[in-house]
C-alpha cells in the first residue's frame, strides 16, 4: 500500500471533522464541499483526480460519522483502518461505491466497538454551556 491513501484519508477525515463542528456546517455540507474542492485541486494538478478524490471522499465519511461523539484518536484510527480496507476491498467489490461505504462503515464500527470494549480514546473537551 502506498502512503498516498492514508494521507488523503486522514486529510479528508480531519478537515471534515473540524469543519463539521463549525456553526454553519454539518457533516454532510462539510463532506460535500471539501470533496468538490479536493476534486478541483486534483484535476488542476493532474493527479489522477478520479481515484484520489474517491479516496479523499471516503475519508470525509469518517470525519462526518460522529464529530460530536468521537475524538481525534478515534478519527485517526478509523482513517488508517479505512485506507487498509479500501485498498483490499476495491478489487473484490464492483465499483468504488460499495468499497467506500463498506470500508467507512467497518472502520468506524470496529473503532467504536473497541471503545465499547475498553480501548483507550482521546479525551473530549467538556461541552460548552
Q: In the predicted model, what is the mean pLDDT of residues 66-88?
A: 86
The per-residue pLDDT for 96 is 67
Q: Which residues contact 76 (CB under 8 A, 6 or more apart)?
A: 10, 13, 14
Report pLDDT digits (tens) over 32-70: 999 999 999 999 998 888 889 999 999 998 988 866 678
Copy the grid coordinates of residue 58. 471516503
Percent residues over pLDDT 70 in the chain: 87
pLDDT of 126 above 80 = no
Long-range (24+ apart) CB contacts under 8 A made by 19-24 are: 19/63, 20/63, 20/64, 20/67, 21/67, 21/68
Mean pLDDT for the chain?
85
pLDDT of 110 above 80 = yes
Amino acid at each position: 500500500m502506498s502512503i498516498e491513501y492514508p494521507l488523503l484519508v486522514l486529510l479528508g477525515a480531519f478537515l471534515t471533522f473540524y469543519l463539521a463542528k463549525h456553526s454553519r456546517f454539518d457533516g454532510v455540507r462539510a463532506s460535500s464541499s471539501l470533496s468538490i474542492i479536493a476534486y478541483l485541486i486534483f484535476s488542476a494538478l493532474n493527479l489522477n483526480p478520479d481515484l484520489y478524490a474517491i479516496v479523499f471522499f471516503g475519508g470525509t465519511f469518517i470525519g462526518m460519522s460522529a464529530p460530536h461523539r468521537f475524538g481525534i484518536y478515534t478519527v485517526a484510527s478509523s482513517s488508517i483502518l479505512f485506507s487498509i480496507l479500501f485498498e483490499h476491498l476495491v478489487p473484490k467489490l464492483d465499483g468504488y461505491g460499495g468499497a467506500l461505504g463498506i470500508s467507512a462503515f467497518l472502520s468506524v464500527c470496529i473503532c467504536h466497538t473497541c471503545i465499547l470494549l475498553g480501548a483507550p480514546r482521546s479525551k473530549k473537551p467538556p461541552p460548552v454551556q
